[in-house]
Structure 1
Amino acid sequence: MNKTALFLCGLALAGQTALANNIGIGYGATTELYKSDKTGYVLPIVDLEYDNFFLKGAAANGLSFGYNVYQDDFYTLSFYVKPFGGHEIDASDMKDGYKSIDDRKHKVMGGAELSVYTGFYDVEMVTAVDYGKEGGNLLFQLNRPYFVNSKLVVIPSVNFVYFNSDYVDYYFGVDKHELGGNIKHTYEGDSAYTFGLNLTGSYKLTDSFSLMGFAGANKVSKEIKNSPIVDENVVYFVGTGLIYTF
């Protein structure tokens, strides 16, 4: 995904679980995962469903198109394609001393997701797997919506994402020809993970418009943090958006 929007995209829509068929625009500010100067992101948001087909995501690179193959009051099993999966970073966006790297590009990824309403304190469990040419990842997430009143919904969530070694090596590894400036050594990525705590809320302004906000933090494992092109091991983010429901 587009830099640290990897962490923003899922959360931007998590607060919209109580809404159906919505589009919107948001903005997120984040500390940077890569050694990059860019810390703000405009997030187009879409969540559409028709006859078990769906299109959802935040920002172009977070979009997924898929089909719910099974759905009832407790379980939803979906298969999907992400045309712009993975991280993305342009060398031109890196800080001085780190511009010698190759661009990391979006990759087409396919995946499957199982959502389960556990019935335990209204907790929803989500498990998803994505895979493409440059490796893949496995997500495990727990969401618990709190309907404060008829207008306000707050959703705390916790997530764990595992990335295989091919994925980490492509997006965070460093080859010999990329050395230069402040990049002094090569790096071969190994399998890694992130752990996140997030809070998302949605406030209904009118029958058609809602104000959405999100905040949280994600910690990356040492297999990502030790890369010479990665900045911090904890990424913080906050953002807001306006959603139109129809």
Structure 2
Amino acid sequence: MRTLYLSSFLLAPALASVALLGAPLAQAQGGPGGMGGPGREGQSSWGLGIAAVSGQEAYKGIERETRALPMLSYENRWFRLGGLGAEVKLPRLGISDTQSIDFRLVGKFNMDGYEAKDSTFLAGMNERKGGFWAGAKATWRNDVAHLSAEWTADVSSHSKGQRFNLSLEKNFRLGPQLMLSPRVGASWMDKKYVDYYFGVRSHEVQAGRAASTGTSGVNAELGLRSLYMIDPHHAVFLDLGVTRLAKSIKNSPLVERSTENRVLMGYLYRF
């Protein structure tokens, strides 16, 4: 069994999907977009479910991993908890009847990293740890799509890195029960982040594994989430995602793939 660290690509995006399901669920139920329970803005809402996730990471010697995950979420007017993170909702800026900008303070556990025992190719590498990241997020909501920008930094000081994410998502409602949400995104990582997780120190050099210093780069992601409402409380969902890695990551001697991919499917009950 691999360590929890190398499951980061599986765990973090998969569990984050719990929180992202809040707005589509509320919209599908006819309620406000992500502001509370079914039909009433500000009402607290709980979600509980289970999911299966299968993903392929880019590190050498790491095979595709599939596992089952519990899913838990909570949301009220000022707070959202889902997966590995939480958000504090700040006052919303209303632009018009159809446009607004939401501001959030965010905190999340980043499960990136590995141990030498996770792969024979990683033998002799020092452990790379995850940590707690914090920052801020803004989302422009309008009739066309939702555009989000998020900046976070490693406050646990393992990598001392920073990340900036941009994502664009559109919800298409196909009848009263089915919703499709395609998305596209880009994630910038500074050189400290890339060097910590994909660099090779001089004392870690071995035959076939040269020294490497990471530089900043941008990952690109495409994804599609489908949500089917069985009734106002029961839902099943499928989330597909593929990430094209930055050149600075693909060039790392620790990496053997240019992309990572993930399939997530599950069931969620919203109280």
TM-score band, normalised by shorter chain: 0.7 to 0.9
Secondary structure of 2:8's counterpart equals coil
State the 1:178 CA deviation: 1.9
Which of 75, 87, 100 matches 1:66?
87
Which residue of 1 is the match for residue 220 of structure 2?
A: 195
Q: Is the 8 A contact 2:19 2:80 kept in 1?
A: no
After TM superposition, give the deviation of residue 207 of structure 1 in Å: 2.9
- Of 36, 45, 61, the residue aligned with 2:71 is 45
1:111 aligns with 2:117: no
Residue number among 230, 236, 249 corresponding to 1:211 in the alignment: 236
In terms of mean alpha carbon deviation, does 233-242 or 96-105 score higher? 96-105
Partner of 2:55: 30
Q: Secondary structure at the match of 1:190?
A: coil
Provide the residue aligned with 2:270 in structure 1.
Answer: 245
Q: Provide the aligned length of Structure 1 versus Structure 2.
A: 236
Query: Deviations 1:54-81 (Å, cap 9, x if unpaired)?
Result: 2123xxxxx2223111235622100022
Distance 1:179 1:37 in 2: 23
Structure 1 partner of 2:34? none
Deviations 1:181-230 (A, max 9, x none): 642x1111000111011000111123322111011211011100111111
Q: Shift of residue 40 of structure 1?
A: 2.1
Distance 2:18 2:53 in 1: 9
Tell me which protein shows more strand as a share of its residues: 1
Aligned alpha-carbon RMSD (Å)? 2.1
1:8-45 CA-partner distances (Å, limit 9, x unpaired): 45456544432253232212212222222352243433
What SS is found at the alignment partner of 2:195? helix
Contact kept? 2:16, 2:85, Cα under 8 Å = no
Q: Hey, what's the Cα distance between the residues in 2 that align with 1:166 and 1:91? A: 20
Mind listing any 5+ residue stretches in structure 1 that lack a counterpart?
A: 58-62
| Residue 223 of structure 1, aligned match among 248, 257, 265 | 248
Larger radius of gyration: 2
Gap regions ≥5 residues in structure 2: 26-36, 38-44
Q: Out of 7, 18, 24, which is 1:18 matched to?
A: 24
Q: Shift of residue 91 of structure 1?
A: 2.1
Q: Which residue of 2 aligns with 1:60?
A: none
> SS at the partner of 1:203?
strand
Secondary structure of 2:23's partner?
coil
Identify the residue that residue 154 of structure 1 maps to in structure 2: 180
Determine which of 108, 125, 129 is the counterpart of 2:151: 129
Provide TM-score, normalisation by structure 2.
0.80
| Counterpart secondary structure, 1:232 | coil
After TM superposition, the score normalised by the length of structure 1 is 0.87
Shift of 1:139: 0.4
> Bigger shift: 24-33 or 10-19?
10-19
1:216 alignment partner AA: G
Q: Does the 8 Å CA contact 1:14/1:200 hold for their aligned counterparts?
A: no
Name the structure, 1 or 2, with higher relative contact order (CA <8 Å, separation 6+). Answer: 1
Q: Which deviates further from its counterpart, 4-13 or 30-39?
A: 4-13
Q: For residues 27 and 90 of structure 1, what CA distance do their matches in structure 2 show?
A: 24
Give yes or no for the alignment of 1:93 onto 2:118: yes
Q: Which amino acid aligns with 2:247?
A: K
Q: Aligned partners of 1:12 and 1:192: how far apart in 2?
A: 28
Runs of 4+ in structure 1 off by over 6 angstroms are none
Partner Cα separation in structure 1 for residue 162 and residue 203 of structure 2 = 25
After superposition, the Cα gap between the structure-2 partners of 1:77 and 1:194, relative to the gap in structure 1 and judged at 3 Å, is same
Note if contact 1:11-1:198 (Cα within 8 Å) is conserved in structure 2: no
- Cα gap change, 1:81 to 1:10, in 2 (>3 Å): closer
